A and B are shown apart, each in its own frame.
Chain A
Amino acid sequence: MSEPQSIKVVDACDLNDELRFLLKPGGMVLDAQKRRHRLPRYFYEIPSHEAAMSIRLTQHFGLNEFTLVDLKEDPRLQEFPRYIPCAVRVLAFYLEQFRRDAGGSVHIAVNGGYRSPSHKLSQNATPHMWATAADIYRIGSTILKGKETIEKYNGIAEDSSDDLHVLPYGHVTGLNADDHVHLDLGYITVIPREISEDRMEVPQENKPRFAFEDRRRVERRSQPATSEDE
Chain B
Amino acid sequence: MGSPRFSNIRQMALKARKAEEKLPVSPANDSVAASEISLYRNVLKIKEEHDLEELGISFWDAQTTIQWSYNADHYFHAASTMKLAVLIGVFREIDRGTLALDSPVHVRNRFTSIVNQEPFMLDLASDADPDVYGHLGKTLTVRELAYWMITKSSNLATNLLVDVVTIESIQQALDELEIDGVRVLRGVEDQAAFEAGLNNEVTANGLQKMLRVIADGKAFSQEASDDMLKIMLDQQYRSGIPAGLPKAARVAHKTGNISTVHHDAGIVFLDGREPYVLVILTQFRAETGRGSAVADVSRDIYNTLAGLTYE
* A residues neighboring B (CB under 8 Å): 68-72, 107, 109-111, 137-138, 143, 145, 171, 173, 178-180
Known: A171-B118, A179-B121. A68 touches B136 (CB 8 A): no
List of B residues within 8 angstroms of A179 by Cβ? 108-110, 121
Q: Can you offer 11 A-B residue contacts whose CB atoms are under 8 A? A: A70-B103, A70-B104, A71-B164, A109-B106, A110-B104, A110-B107, A110-B108, A110-B139, A145-B121, A173-B119, A180-B137
Q: Are B119 and A171 in contact (CB under 8 A)?
A: yes
Q: Are A178 and B110 in contact (CB under 8 A)?
A: yes
Known: A71-B104, A72-B106, A179-B110. A110 touches B137 (CB 8 A): yes
List of B residues within 8 angstroms of A69 by Cβ? 104
Most buried by A among B109, B136, B137: B137
B99 at the interface (CB under 8 A from A): yes
B230 at the interface (CB under 8 A from A): no
Q: What's the minimum C-beta distance from B37 to chain A, rounded to whole angstroms?
A: 53
List of B residues within 8 angstroms of A107 by Cβ? 137
Q: How many residues of B contact A (CB 8 A)?
A: 18
B192 at the interface (CB under 8 A from A): no
Query: Does more than half of chain B's interface fall in helix, strand or loop, or is it mixed?
Result: loop
Q: CB < 8 Å: which of B103, B105, B136, B164 contacts A137? A: B136
* B residues neighboring A (CB under 8 Å): 99, 103-110, 118-119, 121, 136-139, 142, 164
Q: Are A71 and B137 in contact (CB under 8 A)?
A: no
Nearest A residue to B142 via CB reads A71
Q: Report the Cα distance A171→B118, complex, angstroms.
A: 8
List of A residues within 8 angstroms of B105 by Cβ? 70-71
Q: Are B106 and A70 in contact (CB under 8 A)?
A: yes
List of A residues within 8 angstroms of B137 by Cβ? 107, 109-110, 137-138, 143, 180
Q: Are A178 and B136 in contact (CB under 8 A)?
A: no
Nearest B residue to A180 via CB reads B137
List of A residues within 8 angstroms of B110 by Cβ? 178-179
Q: What's the minimum C-beta distance from B68 to chain A, rounded to whole angstroms?
A: 42
Q: Report the Cα distance A69→B104, complex, angstroms.
A: 8
List of A residues within 8 angstroms of B106 by Cβ? 70, 72, 109-111
Nearest B residue to A108 via CB reads B137
Known: A173-B119, A179-B121. A71 touches B103 (CB 8 A): yes
Q: Are A143 and B103 in contact (CB under 8 A)?
A: no
Nearest A residue to B98 via CB reads A71
Most buried by A among B99, B104, B109: B104
